[in-house]
């Protein structure tokens, strides 16, 4: 066992964990944060994407023990975040949601894109989304939602 101390969604957490535990399982099973979805468990689909110190990471291939001292934000941790509120609204209005399985990881990735980029065309957004797989939408609504939030940011 190893001790893990980190901040998750603004809450300090300190606990003993098995050093082989991945971050996704820690979030889902130890903290009951079920919004972090597991898809491929190889880091290829992006459903498990969360923010670690503000940067998107794949929680299924990140060992929880390597997260000591960091800040993790999951989809449950954006309640008062204005940018995430705009992204959620844009996703809804642009029909970027269907089954919803990829949505938590897609929103974390979109949050990063909108935070980092002042301008991005469709191809740049699609390239930035390359690590997130959506089997339902065809990505057009997702891209429009991100374009919309970038435009709002610059208005």
Give tens-digit pLDDT for 61-104: 999 999 999 999 999 999 989 999 999 999 999 999 889 999 99
pTM of the model: 0.93
Residue 34 has pLDDT above 90, yes or no: yes
Nearest alpha-carbon partner for 155 in 75, 86, 74: 86
pLDDT at 137: 85
Residue 17 has pLDDT above 90, yes or no: yes
| Cβ proximity of 9 and 76 under 8 Å | yes
pLDDT cut 70: percent of the chain above it: 100
Two structure tokens written together for 71: 């800040």
Q: How do residues 104-148 score in pLDDT, each as one tens digit?
A: 999 999 999 999 999 999 999 999 999 999 998 889 999 999 999
pLDDT at 126: 96
Two structure tokens written together for 52: 């670690």
What's the average model confidence in pLDDT over 3-19?
A: 97
Domain-terminating residue out of 53, 77, 101:
77
Domain extent for 57 = 2-77
Q: What's the rounded Cα separation, in Å, for the pair 64 and 52?
A: 11
Question: Is 63 found in the same domain as 7?
Answer: yes
Q: What's the rounded Cα separation, in Å, for the pair 71 and 49?
A: 14
The residues pairing with 10 across neighbouring beta strands, listed in sequence order, are none
Question: Is 95 found in the same domain as 66?
Answer: no
Domain-terminating residue out of 38, 59, 77:
77
Q: What's the rounded Cα separation, in Å, for the pair 48 and 108?
A: 9
Residue 150: in which H helix or E strand, if any?
helix 140-154
pLDDT at 11: 97
List of residues 6+ apart from 63 with CB closer than 8 A = 19, 20, 21, 22, 23
Say which residue the tokens 């940067």 belong to.
Answer: 55
The tally of domains found in the chain comes to: 2
């Amino acid at each position: 066992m190893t001790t893990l101390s980190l901040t998750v969604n603004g809450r300090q957490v300190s606990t003993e964990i098995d050093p082989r535990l991945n971050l996704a399982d820690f979030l889902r099973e130890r903290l009951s944060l079920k919004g972090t979805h597991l898809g491929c468990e190889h880091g290829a689909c992006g459903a498990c994407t969360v923010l670690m110190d503000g940067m998107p990471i794949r929680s299924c291939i990140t060992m929880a023990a390597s997260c000591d001292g960091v800040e993790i934000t999951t989809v449950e941790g954006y309640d008062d975040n204005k940018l995430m509120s705009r992204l959620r609204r844009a996703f809804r209005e642009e029909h970027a949601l269907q089954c919803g399985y990829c949505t938590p990881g897609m929103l974390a990735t979109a949050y990063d894109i909108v935070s980092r980029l002042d301008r991005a065309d469709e191809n740049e957004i699609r390239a930035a989304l390359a690590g997130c797989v959506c089997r339902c939408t065809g990505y057009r609504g997702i891209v429009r939602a991100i374009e919309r939030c970038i435009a709002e940011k610059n208005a």
